[in-house]
Amino acid sequence: MSRIKKLTKKITEKYNTNNPYEIAKFKNIHVIEHDLHESIYGFYKYIRRNKFIFINSSLRQELKPFTCAHELGHSELHPRVNTPFLKRGTLFSIDKIEVEANTFAVELLLPDEKVYEYKYTNLSLCEISEILGVPGELAHLKTLKECQKIF
């Protein structure tokens, strides 16, 4: 099991939720919706031992939880780093910290148990991802121990 998958599992078990807004609240991370440039989804900021997640208030509602989960990933994986903006193009980033934050968000929002609920459907992992609030183009970041048997 990957380090990021272990971390998301530990967090969801500790807080009994995979909702990024609830986890941020438990961890005293301030989530702020703010009017940002249309190409910016959100960003994470660390200021004097305070953590902030900014989410573009004009973002489509279905993208906000993913953006929050992505920025929560930065707060867990890169806590002292003020990260660059999550932009539309960042979903395809090869930058290590962006890939890690995307992986964190995918593992948080697509727990194995939820994915396995679709085992006997004809849905692809990409389609399941979209249903569960993760952009389909990031489904490849999901690791499943029984992936070959399901899809």
pLDDT (tens digit, 9 = 90+) per residue, 99-131? Answer: 899 999 999 999 999 999 998 899 999 999 999
Closest by alpha carbon to 28, among 12, 46, 55?
A: 46
**For residue 58, is pLDDT > 50?**
yes
Q: Name the amino acid, one letter, at 81.
A: V
Across 82-100, b (16+ Cβ under 10 Å) vs e yields ebeebbeebeeeeeeebbb
Proportion of the chain above pLDDT 70, given as a percent: 87
Question: 3-150 has which fold?
Answer: Arc Repressor Mutant, subunit A (1.10.10)
Domain ranges of the chain: 3-150
